[in-house]
């Protein structure tokens, strides 16, 4: 139950987990004429040359002045298995003052940021009640927007602990690399804002000229080990729920249990699948989706012949990046508890402290084949099973 507007905003902010389809984001950003350079009008770093092209990926290793460029990998994917690793690789790195870290978002980047809050301060919330919106009526949910201090670049690319430095969400960088130089010794914690519950790491900065405990090759090997361990934990989690559990329901019907996303490694391994993806039931039976994906929300969404709603509404502004408004049609449950193949029916965001809760039930009274999807992790129910977070319910007589 959502007991107040303030409680909803707090719950969404605490969860701090969201997704967008990369191609869709870039298409809409491009259509609005909002390249990364446009963010500079709000004081964000543009990370681009005057001709609009992003700078080249930095060369790793020692530079002429004796400082070094290092690499940390941001997140990881096993696309063929629909597994995501929500971590930085390696989770800790030791460098010297004056050195630079290139944060490599990879070829298949997730919905991540690299965020160094000022020492002693909290990172910006990812979503917040829209300060420009008319206050919602009593009992109505607020309009939520994405905080531009979290979604877009802030603070340049030098960090000494005194002010926020944030890459912004990788999608909005349009391929521009992100590097941070550390001029002052210290131990600096950083995180990915959308996955703050599990995706945190540390940079230890020694005095300039200090002996280094590891070389880049050592960190690369450690990163591979850490990534492999997390993905293995995801595979193990997926194996637990390969069959739909069936239990007796009312009036001779059956309740079929489907897992709506699973997680391993304390939430760092995310299985972006319905388990199992295809279920055959009889008319009158019920499907119960159970959310088992710690820290990662999912939806169960049937379009029923209607157009897919936008999860995030892009509103262009006179200057700078657009307002990114969360659509309450996707955030909250929609439709009834019986489905006959017609009309938009949606669980809302499922997860702990999310509007859709951790269980969602739908009874099917009409024979047919019904494709469904997770709004946050698939383009639509027409995506091929096994290549996106989609499922199918086949209802027999």
Average confidence score pLDDT of the chain: 86
Q: How many structural domains are present in the chain?
A: 2
Query: What's the token pair of residue 384?
Result: 């091929």
pLDDT classification of 11: cutoffs 50, 70, 90: very low
Strand segments (E) across 143-282: 144-146, 165-166, 178-181, 186-191, 200-206, 245-248, 254-264, 269-275, 278-282
Q: With a cut of 90, say whether residue 316 has pLDDT above it.
A: no
Both 94 and 226 in one domain: the answer is: yes
| Per-residue pLDDT at 151 | 92
Both 59 and 139 in one domain: the answer is: yes
Both 269 and 350 in one domain: the answer is: yes
| Per-residue pLDDT at 170 | 82
Q: Which of 220, 235, 250 lies at the terminal end of a domain, its last residue?
A: 235
Both 18 and 119 in one domain: the answer is: yes
Both 380 and 307 in one domain: the answer is: yes
- Give the pTM: 0.85
Both 90 and 201 in one domain: the answer is: yes
Phi, psi of 151 (to 5 degrees): -80, -30
Instruction: Please write the tens of the pLDDT for every residue from 325-383.
Output: 999 999 999 999 999 999 999 999 999 989 999 999 999 999 999 999 999 999 999 99
Task: Residue 132: give the domain boundaries.
Answer: 5-235
Q: Which of 235, 262, 292 lies at the terminal end of a domain, its last residue?
A: 235
Instruction: Please write the tens of the pLDDT for every residue from 127-182.
Output: 998 887 777 777 788 889 999 999 999 999 999 999 999 999 987 776 689 999 99
pLDDT classification of 317: cutoffs 50, 70, 90: confident
Both 218 and 249 in one domain: the answer is: no
Q: Which of 208, 235, 262 lies at the terminal end of a domain, its last residue?
A: 235
Both 226 and 268 in one domain: the answer is: no
CB 67 within 8 A of CB 49: no
CATH at 293: 2.60.40.420
Q: With a cut of 60, say whether residue 384 has pLDDT above it.
A: yes
Both 83 and 104 in one domain: the answer is: yes
Both 65 and 181 in one domain: the answer is: yes
Both 333 and 204 in one domain: the answer is: no
How large a percentage of the chain has pLDDT more than 70?
A: 85
Q: With a cut of 60, say whether residue 50 has pLDDT above it.
A: no
**Vertex 301 angle, CA 15 and 333, to 5°:** 60
Range with the lowest mean pLDDT among 46-60, 262-276, 353-367? 46-60
């Amino acid at each position: 139950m959502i007991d107040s507007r303030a409680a909803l905003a707090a719950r969404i902010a605490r969860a701090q987990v969201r997704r967008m389809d990369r191609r869709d984001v870039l298409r809409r950003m491009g259509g609005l004429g909002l390249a990364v350079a446009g963010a500079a009008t709000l004081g964000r770093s543009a990370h681009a040359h005057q001709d609009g092209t992003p700078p080249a990926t930095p060369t790793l290793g020692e530079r002429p002045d004796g400082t070094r460029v290092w690499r940390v990998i941001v997140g990881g994917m096993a696309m063929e298995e629909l597994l995501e690793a929500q971590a930085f690789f390696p989770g800790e790195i030791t460098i010297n003052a004056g050195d630079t870290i290139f944060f490599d978002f990879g070829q298949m980047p997730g919905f991540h940021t690299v965020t160094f809050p000022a020492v002693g301060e909290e990172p910006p919330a990812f979503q917040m009640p829209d300060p420009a919106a008319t206050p919602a009526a009593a009992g109505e949910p607020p309009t939520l927007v994405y905080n531009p201090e979290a979604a877009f670049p802030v603070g340049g690319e030098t960090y000494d602990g005194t002010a926020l430095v944030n890459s912004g969400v990788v999608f909005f960088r349009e391929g521009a690399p992100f590097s941070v130089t550390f001029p002052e010794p210290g131990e600096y914690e950083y995180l990915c804002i959308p996955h703050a519950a599990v995706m945190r790491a540390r940079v230890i900065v020694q005095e300039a000229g200090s002996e280094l405990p590891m070389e880049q090759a050592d960190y690369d090997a450690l990163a591979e080990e850490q990534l492999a361990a997390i993905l293995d934990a995801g595979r193990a989690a997926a194996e637990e729920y390969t069959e739909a559990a069936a239990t007796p329901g009312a009036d001779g019907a059956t309740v079929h249990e489907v897992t709506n996303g699973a997680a391993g490694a304390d939430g760092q391994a995310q299985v972006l699948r319905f388990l199992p993806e295809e279920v055959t039931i009889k008319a009158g039976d019920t499907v119960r989706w159970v959310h088992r994906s710690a820290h990662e929300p999912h939806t169960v969404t049937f379009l029923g012949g209607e157009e897919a709603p936008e999860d995030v509404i892009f509103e262009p502004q006179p200057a700078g990046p657009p307002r990114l408004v969360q659509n309450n049609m996707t955030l909250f449950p929609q439709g009834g508890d019986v489905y006959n193949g017609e009309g938009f029916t949606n669980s809302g965001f499922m997860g702990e402290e999310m509007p859709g809760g951790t269980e969602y039930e739908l009874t099917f009274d009409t024979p047919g084949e019904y494709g469904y999807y997770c709004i946050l992790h698939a383009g639509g129910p027409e995506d091929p099973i096994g290549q996106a977070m989609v499922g199918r319910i086949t209802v027999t007589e």
